[in-house]
Amino acid sequence: MKKNILSYTGLALALACAGLSGCQKGDLLSNPNVASTATTVPPSLILNRITNELYNGGGVMDGVNGNASEIPFSQVQRWNQFFVSNFAYYWGNNSYNWSNTATMYSVLKYTELMEQQVAKQYGSTTTYYSALAKFFRAYNFIWYTQRVGDIPMSEAGDANNTTPKYDLQHDVYKNCLALLDTANTLMASVVTPANQNNTMDATGDIYGLTYLQWQKVINTYKLRVLISLSKRAADNADLNITQQFAAIVTNPTKYPIMTSNADNMTYKYNAAYNKYPISPNYTPYNFFEDVCNTYLNITTADQDPRTFIAASPAPAQFYGQHKALGDFTAYVGADIDLSEGDINNNSVAGQYSYTNYARYYSDPTGATEEPYILVGYPELCFNIAEAANRGWLSGVSGLTWYNNGIAASLAMYKLADGVQIPEADSAGNSLGSVTANVTAFLANPNVVYAGDNAAGLKQILTQKYVAFWQNSGWEAFYNWRRTGVPTFGQGGPGIGTTSSGNLIPLRWQYPLDEANYNSTNYQSAIQSQYGGTDDITKPMWLIK
């Protein structure tokens, strides 16, 4: 952990020496714009900072090291194999050649500050801020441990301890699950019939959730964490993974969870600020990125109308072979496994589909795009379906929740039979509209649920992946890493990891600050987990 990572830095920028001349001794005055530890700061102001950090994935970092912002059409969404770059100068490269990760300790730091202000101003630890603080702590540690393995947790956050010990990943998860349970209990104590549908904090919560919806987010997120532990469910009885999952699903009174897309934790875009990330700034550059075949191979084979949401027809198919706009064979994805030069040559020749300009580039207000989901109802449905398929839930239908997940994802795009989906080419020229046929999609043999068996599990995981299109941060990647579904492209030069056979890494290296400032504990951690080498190809406890 970085030295004194939690030292109080204030909530406003400190102005350093101004003017052209250098600072002279005695010139410095106290800056009235900087908050001190004695300052009273509205908790809502700190909450606003935390909630924005969640959207950005801990802040915008460099894409090379796997710390890119988690927003739509970011580097993360390339690593999720939703789209690919065909020209590095404008869209970066597609390689997974990352090294040291960052942390999300910014969230931990501001959570600590929020708790201090709540204690000072409310004189109580039973507030909705206190509940959210437990949630944010768990979110922070899960975010970090998923990347590297064992991490400092029990001693993290103490500014007087610059060499915190590492907790086993098993213990990190155990403690985070306990934090989430406490968060639910605290939120339950402040949610009442009178306030449950009121916006919890109109000035601090950028997601605009009600008291009850925040409680639903906490428990829905906990189900995500529990299903991510599926490989450890049978050999770690003390974690009670399946029991905890069942307790939440079967007791909605104690553990309310999302019941529709209205409960989604979403980041909304608008014209005044928070414009959609690629519109209008990236409008001229749609030509330099293509939809990935990992995604399009699934949706076209399934006759899925979400094909037309994501992509425009490949020019060689539409103009060259005169295929109809609604012909699924006209939509062709690029192979991330290929070198970027080959992808570019093929793209220039019109072989690949570009992102649907009409939807994602034409309106910066977010009016044509779907909101960005951080934690959502479609994923929840598929997580419950997966648990039912695995036998974790008695009397719960995998079929029902699988169908609920598909329906929720389609509803997010407002897709139903007869809905017109506008299409535009890479330059923004209208191509007309495609008529959605949801009935044909749901009747496709690839989509009709095969039952609570291996084939059905693959269908659940596949449809969950499709529902993750351009949302939910790293979840598509983490689900692939855990299950192998869907099959990601790897092994070719496009992946960029030549020393490991061009395979996709399974983890990141620890932050450089760990080696520099906490070297003894760092060395011990990589020795016990990875044989003494901070190797990005080695599996961590979570996925062994």
Domain boundaries, the chain: 1-58+102-254+509-544, 283-493
Q: What is the pLDDT of residue 67?
A: 53
Rounded Cα gap, residues 133 and 270, in angstroms:
28
Q: What is the pLDDT of residue 61?
A: 42
Q: What is the pLDDT of residue 9?
A: 35
The pair of structure tokens assigned to 205 is 């919560």
Q: What is the pLDDT of residue 159?
A: 84
The torsion angle over the Cα atoms of residues 312, 317, 323 and 328, rounded to 10 degrees, is -50
Q: What is the pLDDT of residue 68?
A: 60
Q: What is the pLDDT along the chain (544 residues), one digit of tens a residue?
A: 443 333 333 333 332 333 333 344 444 445 556 666 678 999 999 999 999 889 887 544 444 444 567 889 999 999 999 999 999 999 999 999 889 998 888 899 999 999 999 999 999 889 999 999 999 999 999 999 999 999 999 999 888 999 999 999 999 999 999 999 999 999 999 999 999 999 999 999 999 999 999 999 999 999 999 999 999 999 999 999 999 999 999 999 999 999 999 999 999 888 778 888 887 767 778 999 999 999 999 999 999 999 999 999 999 999 999 999 999 999 999 999 999 999 999 999 999 999 999 999 988 888 899 999 999 999 999 999 999 999 999 999 999 999 999 999 999 999 999 999 999 999 899 999 999 999 999 999 999 999 999 999 999 999 999 999 999 999 999 999 999 999 999 999 999 999 999 999 999 999 999 999 999 999 999 999 999 999 999 999 999 9
**Distance from the first to the final alpha carbon of the chain:** 25
Say if pTM beats, i.e. exceeds, 0.85. Answer: yes
C-alpha distances out from residue 220 to 29, 229, 252, 406, Å: 49, 15, 11, 17
Q: What is the pLDDT of residue 34?
A: 61
Element at 420 (helix H, strand E): strand 420-424
Show Cβ contacts of residue 335 under 8 Å, excluding neighbours closer than 6 positions.
84, 292, 293, 343, 489, 492, 494
Comparing C-alpha atoms, which of 221, 205, 280 is closest to residue 255?
Answer: 221
Tell which CATH architecture fits domain 283-493. Answer: Alpha Horseshoe (1.25)
Comparing C-alpha atoms, which of 218, 200, 35 is closest to residue 127?
Answer: 200
Sign of the torsion angle spanned by Cα atoms 80, 81, 83, 85: positive
The pair of structure tokens assigned to 364 is 């910066």
Cα 405 from chain centroid (whole Å): 18
The pair of structure tokens assigned to 8 is 């109080």
**1-58+102-254+509-544 and 283-493: same fold?**
yes
1-58+102-254+509-544 belongs to CATH 1.25.40.390: yes
Q: What is the pLDDT of residues 418-449, one digit of tens each?
A: 999 999 999 899 999 999 999 999 999 999 99
Q: What is the pLDDT of residue 35?
A: 63
